[in-house]
Amino acid sequence: MSTDQPALPRRRRFGWPQRVFSQVLLMQLVITTGVTVLATGLFLAPLSAQLDDQAMRRALAIAQTTASPEVAEKLLSSSPTPDGPVQAEAERIRKATGAEYIVIMDRGGVRWSHTSRGEIGRVVSTDPSVPLAGREIMEIDSGTLGRSARGKVPLRDAGGDIIGAVSVGIEYDSVRDRLFSAIPGLVAYAGGALAVGAIAAYLISRRLQRQTHDLAFSDISALLAEREAMLHGIREGVVALDAAGRVRLMNDEAQRLLGLESDGKGLPLEQVLGEAGTSRTVGVLTGRVTGVDLVTVRGHRVLIANRMPTDDGGAVATLRDRTELEQLGRELDATRGLIDAMRAQDHEHANHMHTLLGLLELEMHDEAVEFVTEVVGVHRATAEQVTERVHDPLLASLLVGKTTVAAERGVSLSIAPETLLPDRVVDPRELVTVVGNLVDNAMDAAAGFEDPWIEVELYAEGRTAVLRITDSGPGVPPEHRDKIFTEGWTTKELPVHGKRGLGLAMVRRLAQRQGGHVEVREAPTGGAEFIVVLPEALSELGDSGEPQEHATAGEVR
């Protein structure tokens, strides 16, 4: 026999609604209702006190009117009887004013008038000493006729002497009736205000429902957490700007690519990047430079940026690091150039071998030896000339290779006699980048002209490295001398792998990062002359005895 008991149905819990629309609507209705009830209560609380005060003042005014010299004269000339003239006058005034009662008493507190005829001639139930002492009072009190608003004044004769007092009462139920009669109108106003508040709450909630796509707060919180994780986890920089150009969001990858230590949230982009508004990076991110896959250089990095405007006038920009790809592309171009040079050298070597073979077959052995010595000596002389003046091995190797490539392109590359660079370069790779880019540009500019040549001069002034490269090309027009250092600006055809206009921009970036500068001017021979000054590019002079000054030390030429 099975002992399993049937599962009891779970009670449905009516908890707090999950949707934004329901929560906001409920909260606004609760707030509106609470404010309406509070406002109604705050209005009713002083209303009762105001009605009491009005009733007491009305009673006091009736008492002051009743305590006339005529009533005093009648009190002195008659006796306290139900049919006396004082009772008749008091009743007349009571009926005319709507008071609950009017009691006129003498100095002994004996009533001369009262709504109950049997009370006439008896002493009053409350203390009459205050009005009999000459003072007026108004109060809420209880007497033989119940709770009422009272006003008491002294009764004086023609000579001003106090001969009694007048007490007037306003029935308290009438005051309460006035209070209760005001409540329906107040409730109607409160209900109207509550209805308007409810309609406004519904409309606001509907708007929030459309804007939040009817999601729950927990869903929105989860989406926000997922967005933060995604933005800071992807390997692509994301920068969000508002309509005023202030940074709204910047993920970790964007900070890394832009070389920033903080996200700069809420600050203008120019201030965050530390660059003028005319810089290309600022122009690309703010939309002043338009296009797709825009190239910009930040520090030593080559970045590809795309920008998408948002509905509120801001924008979201994405950044991709293309430094390695650009370096690979440039290395590919250099490799292609070396392959062409090697192919040309192979033809030249084949010609040399054919010539040597012919000399040997003709048994012209002395001429063959002289020919081999001459061919080998040219290449050896070039390498020795470079290594004697440039002691850094990486830079010397670059110049030897560039000399060979230039020769194959019909361009003569020479090292200036004043060149002397010690082996104290702090970061040879950056200097190789600067020299390689400038030599490539000079080679492109000089090639195609009659008797093309390039001259490279490198020397040290203390810890400062100075580079001067002159070519026989057409030169750089004065109106273009600032533009050539801008990312993406070029007069050459695009290479197969992508963009141009980055070499000189990177040269300027590297020079500025070391506190130096680069400039271009017209060479004395008519071509272009680039001068790069790199402070702190060399280490302190050690025990090697390397010369610290340029052989002909002087100002930068």
Q: Give the pLDDT confidence of 421-432 residue by residue, as tens digits.
A: 888 888 887 888
Do 519 and 426 share a domain, yes or no? Answer: yes
Q: Which of 502, 441, 501 is nearest to 467 (CA)?
A: 441
* 241, 171: one domain: no
Question: Are 168 and 273 members of one domain?
Answer: no
Question: 3-class SS at 309?
Answer: strand
With CA atoms as reference, report the closest residue to 342 among 397, 407, 399: 407
Residues 251 and 152 in one domain: no
Q: What is the pLDDT, as a whole number, of residue 430?
A: 81
- Domain span at residue 520 reads 388-534
Q: How confident is the model at residue 61 (pLDDT cuts 50, 70, 90)?
A: very high
Tell me if 136 is assigned to some domain: yes
CATH assignment at residue 141: 3.30.450.20
DSSP state of 19: B
Nearest CA among 161, 155, 170, 141 for reference residue 86: 155
Are 395 and 475 in a shared domain? yes
| Beta-bridge mates of residue 155 | 164
pLDDT bracket for residue 499 (50, 70, 90): very low
In a domain, 306, yes or no: yes
pLDDT of residue 488: 54
Q: Which of 274, 295, 321 is the last residue of a domain?
A: 321
Look at residue 347 and tell me if it is in a domain.
Answer: no
Tell me how far CA of residue 337 lies from CA of 157, 407, 408, in angstroms. 134, 12, 9
216: left (phi over 0), alpha (psi -120 to 50) or beta: beta
Last-in-domain residue among 155, 178, 201: 178
Q: What is the pLDDT of residue 181?
A: 65
CATH assignment at residue 447: 3.30.565.10
Quickly list DSSP for 36-47. Answer: HHHHHHHHHHHH
Please compute Rg for the chain using Cα positions: 53
Contacts of 99 by beta carbon, 8 Å cutoff, 6+ apart: 59, 62, 93, 168, 169, 170
251 within some domain: yes
At residue 154, the pLDDT reads 94
Does residue 486 form part of some domain? Answer: yes
**Structure token digits, residue 300:** 């030593």
pTM, to two decimals: 0.43
Residues 257 and 404 in one domain: no
**Taking 60 as the threshold, does the pLDDT of residue 17 lie above it?**
no
Asked whether residue 504 falls in the same domain as residue 414, the answer is yes
At 467 the pLDDT is 92
Looking at the predicted structure, is the pLDDT value of residue 188 above 70?
yes
The answer to the question of residue 148 being in a domain is yes
Per-residue pLDDT for 471 more than 80? yes
Q: Are residues 295 and 167 in the same domain?
A: no
User: Is 208 part of a structural domain of the chain?
Assistant: no
Q: Can you tell me the mean pLDDT for 519-524?
A: 88
Q: Tell me: do 35 and 169 sit in the same domain.
A: yes
The arithmetic mean of pLDDT across residues 146-174, rounded, is 84
If you write DSSP's letter for every residue of 418-441 in order, what string do you get?
A: T-BB-S-BS-HHHHHHHHHHHHHH
C-alpha pair distances (Å), 520 with each of 246, 266, 291, 415, 477: 35, 39, 29, 19, 10
More confident residue, 169 or 502: 169
Looking at residue 105, what is its pLDDT?
A: 93
Are both 84 and 172 inside the same structural domain? yes
240: pLDDT strictly greater than 70: yes
d(CA 485, CA 116): 114
Query: How confident is the model over 122-149, as a mean pLDDT?
Result: 81
Number of domain units in the chain: 3
**Residue 190 located in a structural domain:** no
Is the pLDDT score of 436 beyond 80? Answer: yes
Question: From CA 64, how far away is CA 172, in angstroms rounded?
Answer: 20
Concatenated DSSP letters for 263-295?
Answer: --TTSBHHHHHT--TTSHHHHHHHTSS--SSEE
